[in-house]
Chain A
Amino acid sequence: MAVGKYIKDVFGVVKSLATGMKRTLYYFFHHKEIITQEYPDNRDTLVLPERFKGEVVMPHDEKNEHRCTGCQACELACPNGTIKVITKFDMIDGKKKKAIDKLVYHLELCTMCNLCIEACPSDAIKMAQTFEHSVFDRNKLIKVLNNPGSKIMEGVE
């Protein structure tokens, strides 16, 4: 029986190795399968995967309005203190209403973990696909996400 197993082993090994070699030979002759992106050369035609995450942005509409209520859920959700929400109180109709003054985002600390986006109750922030972030001064990585003079969109609580 030992001899039978030995011979079976040898043939099994040969067969499995041949399978692997067939695959690599297929790749060798099929250059269309190459997945390498020649990045700086194909910058204009670069297609990023749908789930690629580059940085956190806050979309504004044409009236310079955003959806952020200043609830600070994103700040709480962030694992490494990337987001600081600085709030102010607007007087609307004689009532005090909480709103954001600045939403400070430290790109140099961000790990693109997507937790803030999931935590946001009003879908005010989202992940953008930009990725060419390099700058000469570190301070340029500290970004204020809301545009100057922007307001909260009506109907968002």
Chain B
Amino acid sequence: MWSFSEIANSIHEWLSKTFNPTWTLIFEMVIAGVAVIGLFALLGLVLVIMERKVSAWMQIRLGPNRVGPKGMLQSLADTVKLIVKEGLTPNGADKIMFNLAPFIAMIVAMLLLAPIAFAKNFQLWDLNIGVLYVSAVSSIMVISILIAGWSSNNKYSLLGAMRSGAQIVSYELSAGLSILAIVVLSGSLQVSDIINSQADGWWIFKGHIPAIIAFITFIIAVTAETNRAPFDLAEAESELTAGFHTEYSGMKFALFFLAEYVNVFIVCAIGATLFLGGWMPFHIGNWTGFNHAMDYIPSSIWFFGKTFFLIFVIMWFRWTFPRLRIDQLLNLEWKYLLPISMINLLLVTVMAILKWHF
């Protein structure tokens, strides 16, 4: 049967037959890099049009419907526009840092893709600290925003960057704690182990109410971490024009824009891996017939289906709720999410020790 892992294996075999190990490694790296960039471009196109359509339908509008069939080529047209636009660098800006910031945002997004399992046995790097690696590398994300805000030499950018710094640093805590809940349940940080531990049911079902609470905290925290509404204080249009990317234009702006959507995809992929079983099909305990029927759906479809469901949930949040004020934002994290997720982690630990989960 056609699958990602078989394609990857056949490429690997062909390369190792034709070249020596060093060149094989180099070629595989190049292929992986090109695949990642291609995935990013595709994600940008798909997620932007998805966001615009979802937002339109939720606000009783029609959304883009002029370019291509049903407006589906709108994001392609936007991309062409952004590519041919001039990328200005303001006069008072710190030129090196200003031009570096969008690339850092992109590189961090690329690094985050490494431990994600897209399909059965199809993963760039199954390192044994997978989940910790994700939360570590995603903390570099804030640096690109801080650089962009400072080097623009613009008060709106600086304010946006500071807000976003405070926001990301504080929401990392509850995101980390809700990830830990699943790590405690599955007993491993490795992504493949976590997925395999969900073969007889996803953690959100096996882990009773604490897993559901962890899931909700996780979704809220990652929405804040990716700077999306209702937590988009870093780029609050009505207060800060566009926050940290006020001064950016053309392709440099497009990189920030793309990085935001890729980050949304990545956090949703992590969420799907931890709580909804990644590529693992929907299995119920001992119903062998049902489980076999579910196995016929390819694992990559399971993974992308779950991820896009979570992306839809995050978009749903964005187009339902108004933006929070900065003090409300910090109150929500420090007075509500953090205590709740700490108590929740304690409950999960008790549950894991007493083996109350299925």
Contact = CB atoms under 8 A, between A and B. Distances in A.
A25 B319 CA distance: 10
B321 A17 contact: yes
Nearest to A37: B62
Nearest to A21: B320
A27 B320 CA distance: 11
A33 B316 contact: no
Interface residues of B, number: 15
A43 interface: no
B320 A24 contact: yes
Given A10-B340, A36-B62, A31 B320 contact: no
B247 to A, nearest CB: 33
A28 B336 contact: no
Contacts of A27: 57-60
What class of interface size applies to chain A in its complex with B?
Answer: 10 to 19
Contacts of A33: 60
B11 to A, nearest CB: 40
A20 B321 contact: yes
A38 B320 contact: no
Interface in A29-76: 31, 33-36, 38
A34 B60 contact: yes
A25 B316 contact: yes
A28 B62 contact: no
B316 A34 contact: no
B54 interface: yes
A20 B316 CA distance: 10
A21 B313 CA distance: 10
B61 interface: yes
Given A20-B321, A24-B320, A34 B61 contact: yes
B60 A35 contact: yes
A36 B55 CA distance: 14
A36 B316 contact: no
B57 A28 contact: yes
Contacts of A25: 58, 316
Nearest to B322: A20
B218 to A, nearest CB: 15
B338 to A, nearest CB: 13
Contacts of A10: 336, 340
B303 to A, nearest CB: 24
Nearest to B340: A10
**Residue picked from A10, A20, A27, most chain B C-beta under 10 Å:** A27
A121 B79 CA distance: 60
Contacts of B59: 27
Contacts of B62: 34, 36, 38
Contacts of B57: 27-28, 31, 34
B316 A21 contact: yes
Contacts of A36: 60-62
A10 B217 CA distance: 12
Given A21-B316, A35-B60, A28 B340 contact: no
B286 to A, nearest CB: 34
A20 B60 contact: no
Nearest to A10: B336
Interface in B57-77: 57-62, 65
A147 B49 CA distance: 53
Interface in B296-322: 316-317, 319-321
Contacts of B58: 24-25, 27-28
A107 to B, nearest CB: 31
A35 B62 CA distance: 8
B61 A28 contact: no
Interface of A: 10, 17, 20-21, 23-25, 27-28, 31, 33-36, 38
* 4 shortest interchain CB distances as A-B pairs: A24-B58, A24-B320, A36-B62, A28-B57
Interface of B: 54, 57-62, 65, 316-317, 319-321, 336, 340
Given A25-B316, A27-B57, 10 more contacts: A10-B336, A20-B321, A23-B320, A27-B59, A28-B54, A31-B57, A33-B60, A34-B57, A36-B61, A38-B65
18 contacts: A10-B336, A17-B320, A17-B321, A21-B317, A21-B320, A24-B58, A24-B316, A28-B54, A28-B57, A28-B58, A33-B60, A34-B57, A34-B60, A34-B62, A35-B60, A36-B60, A36-B61, A36-B62
